[in-house]
């Protein structure tokens, strides 16, 4: 029951942020982004960070008469963790949809910003690699849905974006309290 409240609250936040974006008067900015993240699994003993990929598209809607915008994204992300005592690792890949409120500062050519918002992720691959070439498919053993929060800061140029973001999963990967956590360096190019 508690899980249904979390998903409902996330849905309400997504609807509110999307409705704010729909009121924007300017044409939206479209772009692509790619990044590298350092992910881990929280609440799982003996887990080190694992490097993963982040890539996808974004649309940015300016909020009239402010330096803020709403930025929905469609991303492919890789999370997981490495066993601290062996070469074994876990890989979780998601199709992730963050909806971010972005607040800019100043009117310079290169403009700093901060952003935050919820995300919803759908599992596309979950596997355990034993470190010796063998893998085990974890589909069915892990939750198919991931959701959480994104928080970050960056700079925007005329056609580029560079940001550092922290992603905190709020849903259990398994049912024992393990969650995704990642720090990502992301580069974006606007069309």
3-state secondary structure of 3: helix
- Residues facing residue 93 across a β-bridge: 78, 125
Share of the chain above pLDDT 90, in %: 69
For the chain, give the mean pLDDT.
89
Identify the CATH number of the domain in which residue 168 sits. Answer: 2.40.160.20
* Residue 118 pLDDT exceeds 80: yes
Can you tell me the mean pLDDT for 162-172?
97
Scanning 43-173, the segments in alpha helix (DSSP H) are none
Would you state the pLDDT for residue 17? 56
At 25 the pLDDT is 54
Question: Which residue did the predictor score with more confidence, 139 or 121?
Answer: 121
The per-residue pLDDT for range 120-131, each reduced to its tens digit, is 999 999 999 998
What's the distance, Cα to Cα, between the start and end of the chain in Å? 43
Q: Which residues form the domain of 25?
A: 2-190
Work out whether strand 179-190 and strand 160-169 pair parallel, antiparallel, or are unpaired. Answer: antiparallel
* CA separation for the pair 119, 100 (Å, rounded): 8
> Between 11 and 180, where is the model more confident?
180
What pLDDT was estimated at residue 2?
54
Query: Alpha carbon 68 to chain centroid distance?
Result: 19
Distance from C-alpha of 105 to C-alpha of 169, rounded to nearest angstrom? 28
Phi and psi for 86 in degrees, rounded to 5? -155, -175
Reported as a single tens digit per residue, the pLDDT across 95-113 is 999 999 999 998 888 999 9
Domain count, the chain: 1
Give pTM, 2 decimals: 0.83
């Amino acid at each position: 029951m508690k899980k249904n409240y979390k998903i409902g609250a996330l849905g309400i936040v997504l609807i509110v942020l999307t409705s704010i974006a729909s009121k924007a008067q300017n044409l939206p900015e479209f772009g692509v982004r790619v990044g590298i993240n350092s992910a881990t699994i929280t609440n799982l003993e003996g887990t080190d960070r694992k490097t993963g990929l982040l890539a996808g598209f974004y649309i940015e809607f300016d909020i009239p008469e402010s330096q803020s915008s709403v930025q929905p994204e469609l991303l492919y992300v890789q999370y997981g963790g490495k066993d601290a005592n062996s070469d074994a690792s876990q890989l979780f890949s998601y199709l992730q949809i963050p909806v971010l409120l972005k607040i800019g500062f100043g009117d310079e050519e290169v403009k700093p910003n901060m952003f935050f918002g919820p995300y919803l992720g759908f599992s596309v691959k979950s596997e355990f690699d034993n470190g010796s070439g063998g893998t085990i498919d974890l589909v069915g053993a892990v939750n198919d849905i991931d959701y959480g929060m994104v928080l970050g800061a960056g700079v925007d140029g005329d056609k580029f974006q560079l940001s550092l973001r922290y992603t905190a999963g709020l849903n259990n990967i398994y049912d024992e309290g393990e969650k995704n956590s990642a720090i990502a360096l992301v580069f974006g190019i606007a069309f």
